[in-house]
Amino acid sequence: MSLRNRDLISILDLSRNEIEELFRKADQMNKFLQEKKTLNTLSGKIISLVFLEPSTRTMYSFQSATYRLGGKTLVFASKTTTSLAKGENIADTIRMMSAYSDLIVIRSPYDGTALYASMISSVPVINAGDGKHEHPTQALIDLYTIYKLKGRIDGLTIGVLGDLKYARTIASLLYGLSLFSPRKVYLISPGNLTLRESVRAKIDDLGLEYEEVRDIRQVIGELDILYVTRIQRERYPDPEEYERVKNAFKITEKLLENAKPGLKILHPLPKLDEIDKSIDNTDYAAYFYQASLGIPLRMALLASILG
């Protein structure tokens, strides 16, 4: 089935075939970008970027992808998350922006905003992160990165580390991995930041092969891919507890002495100190490469929906 005029609310809106088709299209986009070709796939099209909480990286990435395809953007951005609490009405904003444009990209601190917007909008809606619910375009970039690095996702052993409870990208990534057949996914987190019950129930239903572990050192030797997310300070009222947990899940050179050759580390960025800076210059670090794939992948998506 074609993605034409479809919404992207959850990564599970896509089939494995559709995702692989997006990968092929992203490869083409990458090629065009390297050849400095100008595309006019979106010429005459307007993309609304409705960002109800700040996320500069994601917004610029969609904006750049639109420009590269010859389209234009309208930006509706809340400066802070709190201005929304004072009665800014999402429904009216969506009605207005859907009248002004051909597609809406929405980011929101509220879980489920993207589906809500798609029910109101007369134009397709792309979810650019709705609370802790889903962030399907980031997951597509993550999967695409793995695919580019390893040539496949099937059969790989993948570690997903950090704040699995609240990190915005985790649910979509695991649902996306469920559409493929990795050998095993290790979920590596402190006990209080394990998957939410609803996410766990869904990956159980989807038949993802996974195991939960409390220490990265137990599994580092098995991993082909290690996906790292930040454990945020505000989850820990006690600073000592935070330091203890932070260090237990920190990626250090010493830890990587036991890594499987060819291990690649991914991170949705921005990162603070969860990965030692000295690792940035090693072959393990794939997060800057991963970030660079954001534009071609989002170009492929926009072109598939509106092209």
Partner 1 sequence: MDQEKLIVSKIKKGIVIDHIPAGKALKVLKILGITGYTDYRLAIVMNVPSNKLGMKDIIKIENKILDKRELELISLVAPTATINIIEDYKVVEKYKVKLPRVIKGVLRCPNPMCITNKPDEVAETIFVLRKLDPVVLECKYCGTLIKGDEIEHNLSIQ
Interface residues toward partner 1, by CB under 8 A: 87-91, 108-113, 115-116, 130-133, 171, 197-199, 201-202
Query: What is the nearest approach in angstroms of partner 1 to the Cβ of residue 250?
Result: 29
Distance, in Å, from the CA atom of 213 to the CA atom of 35, rounded to the nearest integer, reads: 44
**Residue among 171 and 231 whose Cβ is closer to partner 1:** 171
Query: What is the nearest approach in angstroms of partner 1 to the Cβ of residue 228?
Result: 24
Query: What is the nearest approach in angstroms of partner 1 to the Cβ of residue 92?
Result: 9
Name the phi and psi angles at 276, rounded to 5: -55, 135
**Residue among 52 and 156 whose Cβ is closer to partner 1:** 52
Query: What is the nearest approach in angstroms of partner 1 to the Cβ of residue 91?
Result: 6
Query: What is the nearest approach in angstroms of partner 1 to the Cβ of residue 82?
Result: 13
**Residue among 111 and 253 whose Cβ is closer to partner 1:** 111
Closest residue by Cα to residue 193 from 167, 211, 172: 167
Contact between 2 and 304 under an 8 Å Cβ cutoff? The reply is yes
**Residue among 13 and 21 whose Cβ is closer to partner 1:** 13
Q: Is the dihedral of CA 132, 136, 137, 143 positive or negative?
A: positive
**Residue among 32 and 110 whose Cβ is closer to partner 1:** 110
**Residue among 35 and 197 whose Cβ is closer to partner 1:** 197
Residue appearing with tokens 């100008």: 38
* SS3 per residue for 253-269: HHHHCCCCCCCEEECCC
Contact between 246 and 231 under an 8 Å Cβ cutoff? The reply is yes
Contact between 150 and 26 under an 8 Å Cβ cutoff? The reply is no
**Residue among 91 and 272 whose Cβ is closer to partner 1:** 91
Maximum Cα interatomic distance, the chain, rounded to a whole number of Å: 56
Closest residue by Cα to residue 150 from 227, 96, 215: 227
Query: What is the nearest approach in angstroms of partner 1 to the Cβ of residue 37?
Result: 40
Query: What is the nearest approach in angstroms of partner 1 to the Cβ of residue 223?
Result: 28
Distance, in Å, from the CA atom of 288 to the CA atom of 300, rounded to the nearest integer, reads: 20
At 306 the three-state DSSP class reads: helix
